[in-house]
Amino acid sequence: MRLNPDIQKKLIETAINARQWAYAPYSHYTVGASVLTASGKVYEGVNIENAAYPTSICAERVAIFKAVSEGEKEFTAIVVATENGGSPCGSCRQVMAEFGLATQVLIIDAGGKIHMESTVEGLLPGAFTPKDLI
């Protein structure tokens, strides 16, 4: 399923704009993310670093966790914005997989150029999902 161009533009703008709130004093690699839920709501997230590096969290997970904390569990799309179009880490891919392999994923740079269009399944083939626990 392709995203409506107006919705895609809004998600891209939201992810790019969110980068300004990132807390990245160590890497200086700011990331913004926007998630579109099945109900039509948009949630944004930023990466938040910590001096104890393992306790940092990525923008994708912040956006998803914000949505989940407000009752959303079905996602249509996620946009990830970095300076250079960097791809989501493995932990973020696994969290995305938890909520749907068909979710559309756009990876963009700071100028809004799309570097990759995929689905979560395309980013994480053979994902471990809730059905694997049965």
Q: Decide if 44 is catalytic.
A: no
pLDDT band at 134 (very low <50, low <70, confident <90, very high): confident
pLDDT over 70 (residue 1): no
pLDDT over 80 (residue 130): yes
Entry pTM: 0.95
Give the per-residue pLDDT at 2.
81
Q: Single out the catalytic residue among 60, 72, 83, 98.
A: 60
pLDDT over 70 (residue 41): yes
For the chain, which residues make up each domain, given as ranges?
Answer: 5-125
List, for residues 50-84, the tens digit of each pLDDT value. Answer: 999 999 999 999 999 999 999 999 999 999 999 99
Residue 57 buriedness (CB in 10 A; 0-12 / 13-18 / 19+): middle
Pick the CATH number of 5-125 from 3.40.710.10, 3.20.20.70, 3.40.50.720, 3.40.140.10: 3.40.140.10
